[in-house]
């Protein structure tokens, strides 16, 4: 194991995980062709915050409309338009569906976040397990231990 303390190792791993996760999100956005203006890809902000209790907090933020794209909602009617208004009939059919565009969920976020969160938990538990094993092996006596039954 390196000379880094556990806190430094956790911080380094969390930073690398955030970088990898943002790269995976951007890869998903490109694959699903959610580019329109590129504002969603440019909106990612990531930060690792050390809490007072010694626990790490990770912050990942992005444009709000990215969530709506992931769910397949949010495009079509302006604020305040109700059924029966002129704006409603112009954009929607009698069943309430958009005439020119169909909403379709593009899962760039939810599946990737679930996988990446699970992977972060595995990496952190592996880090703590490796540290525990090294501490136990350091504490064992250098001589052979004989146990008679």
d(CA 149, CA 147): 7
Mean per-residue pLDDT of the chain:
76
Residue-wise pLDDT for 38-57, tens only, equals 888 888 999 888 755 667 78
pLDDT given at position 1: 47
pLDDT confidence bin for 32, thresholds 50/70/90: confident
Rounded to two decimals, what is the model's pTM? Answer: 0.64
Query: How open is the CA angle 45-48-53, to the nearest 5 degrees?
Result: 145
**Radius of gyration of the chain from its Cα atoms, rounded to whole angstroms:** 25
First to last CA, the chain: 35
Q: What one-character-per-residue DSSP string does 110-132 give?
A: HHHHHHHHHHHHHHHHHHHHHHH
Q: Cβ atoms within 10 A of the Cβ of 116, count?
A: 18
Q: What one-character-per-residue DSSP string does 41-57 give?
A: HHT-EEEEEE-TTS-EE
Residue-wise pLDDT for 53-86, tens only, equals 667 788 888 888 888 888 877 655 555 666 666 6
* Region 23-36 average pLDDT: 85
Query: How open is the CA angle 101-22-33, to the nearest 5 degrees?
Result: 25
DSSP state of 145: P
pLDDT confidence bin for 17, thresholds 50/70/90: confident
d(CA 96, CA 106): 21
Residue-wise pLDDT for 78-109, tens only, equals 556 666 666 666 667 777 666 666 667 788 88
pLDDT confidence bin for 9, thresholds 50/70/90: confident
Residue 81 makes CB contacts below 8 A (sequence gap 6+) with 87, 88
């Amino acid at each position: 194991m390196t000379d880094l303390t556990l806190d430094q190792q956790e911080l380094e791993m969390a930073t690398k995980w955030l970088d990898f996760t943002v790269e995976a999100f951007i890869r998903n956005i490109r694959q699903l062709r959610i580019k329109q203006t590129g504002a969603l890809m440019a909106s990612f902000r990531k930060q690792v915050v050390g809490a007072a209790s010694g626990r790490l907090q990770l912050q990942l933020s992005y444009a709000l409309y990215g969530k709506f794209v992931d769910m397949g909602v949010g495009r079509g009617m302006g604020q305040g338009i109700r059924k029966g208004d002129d704006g409603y009939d112009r954009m929607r059919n009698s069943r309430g569906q958009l005439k020119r565009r169909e909403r379709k969920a593009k899962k760039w976020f939810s599946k990737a976040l679930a996988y990446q969160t699970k992977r972060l938990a595995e990496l952190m538990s592996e880090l703590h397990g490796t540290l525990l094993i090294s501490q136990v092996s350091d504490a064992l006596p250098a001589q052979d231990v004989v146990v008679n039954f």
